Amino acid sequence: MSVGIFDSGLGGLTVLKQIVKLLPQYAYVYFGDNAHAPYGDRSEDRIYEFTKSGVEFLFRQGCVLVILACNTATAVALRRLQQEWLPAAYPDRRILGIILPVVETVVTMKVKRPKRIGVIGSRATIQSNVYFKEIGKRDSSLLPALFQKSCPLLVPFIEEGMHKSIPAAMILKHYLRPLKQKQISVLILGCTHYPMMKKKIQSVIGKSVAVIDPGIIVARSLKQYLARHPEIDSRLERYQHADEYSANVSFFTTDIAEKIKASIARFWGRKTDVRRVSL
Ligand code: DGL
């Protein structure tokens, strides 16, 4: 059986890349719901239904564990899926989100300047207040210096492969200005698409700000999870000599496979087969 990676589109590739680097021995199935991206401007019910269909597709592909490599799906749908759907529909499978490992890292990390945290994400993620709630539960003294900004136009630019364009840079500056004014020292990339613009984000927000990319954190947390859960780990296929370049990864999208293939190849650094599915 495999590990499933779910995202509304291409963003989950930034997480998949780090996971495969750290754990190349497993088999992975990536599902991008590109036909419905971005999720961030949709209603909670639509995000829930799309996420459920994508996860179910990954289960049917033989995934024992699915990672919602999408902040929006994690913020809006994860808890409901885990509580209302999974126990009855697939009691022997698991769904993990990506927000808590990032929150735990940020709460405990040391920064040279006073810890003033910025969070950027989709409209649905920011409106869910998930970062406020989860950071507040762990250290409420951080809440007065926690600032959020939704950046709804970045995902369409990234999905279209236009994130290195001048208009994208102008929009990014506009989004980050209020966080810069708050003199943040930590910036959480609360959307898995944003690491594709990380260099630009770092240059706009300033070198002294620690920009937190969820990919590496989620990869480490998956490794720890599998060590703690041998009942899941023992069901995963293993490829002893795989490395990050030869790992067993298959890709599925709900959009036109040719269009997505080019983006995945650009991001993944090699040609890949991408299959289209309609759910
Ligand atoms: N990658 C998704 C996330 O992390 C993209 C958001 C969207 O589809 O709007 O939130």
Q: Look up 70 and say whether it is catalytic.
A: yes
- Catalytic member of 1, 77, 187, 191: 191
**Segment (H or E) for 71:** helix 71-80
Between the CA of residue 143 and those of 60, 132, 138, what are the distances in Å?
A: 41, 7, 10
Please indicate whether residue 128, judged by its CB atom, sits closer than 6 Å to ligand 1: no
**Residues 6 or more apart whose Cβ sits within 8 Å of residue 31:** 4, 5, 6, 7, 54, 57, 58, 252, 253, 277
Write phi, then psi, for 212 (nearest 5 degrees). Answer: -100, 115
* Domains 2-97+215-276 and 100-214 are alike in CATH topology: yes
Between the CA of 19 and the centroid of ligand 1 the distance, in Å, is 18
Global confidence as pTM = 0.96
63 a catalytic residue: no
Architecture, CATH, for domain 100-214? 3-Layer(aba) Sandwich (3.40)
Q: Which atom of ligand 1 is found nearest the CA of 8?
A: 8
Q: Does ligand 1 lie within 6 Å of residue 150's CB atom?
A: no
Ligand 1 proximity of 67 Cβ (cutoff 6 Å): no
CA distance 176 to 205: 7
CATH number of 2-97+215-276: 3.40.50.1860
* 42 SS3 class: coil
- Return the ligand 1 atom nearest residue 42 CA: 9
Residue ranges per domain, the chain? 2-97+215-276, 100-214
Whole-angstrom Cα distance, residue 86 to residue 92? 9
pLDDT tens track, the chain, 279 positions: 999 999 999 999 999 999 999 999 999 999 999 999 999 999 999 999 999 999 999 999 999 999 999 999 999 999 999 999 999 999 999 999 999 999 999 999 999 999 999 999 999 999 999 999 999 999 999 999 999 999 999 999 998 889 999 999 999 999 999 999 999 999 999 999 999 999 999 999 999 999 999 999 999 999 999 999 999 999 999 998 888 888 999 999 999 888 888 888 877 777 788 999 998
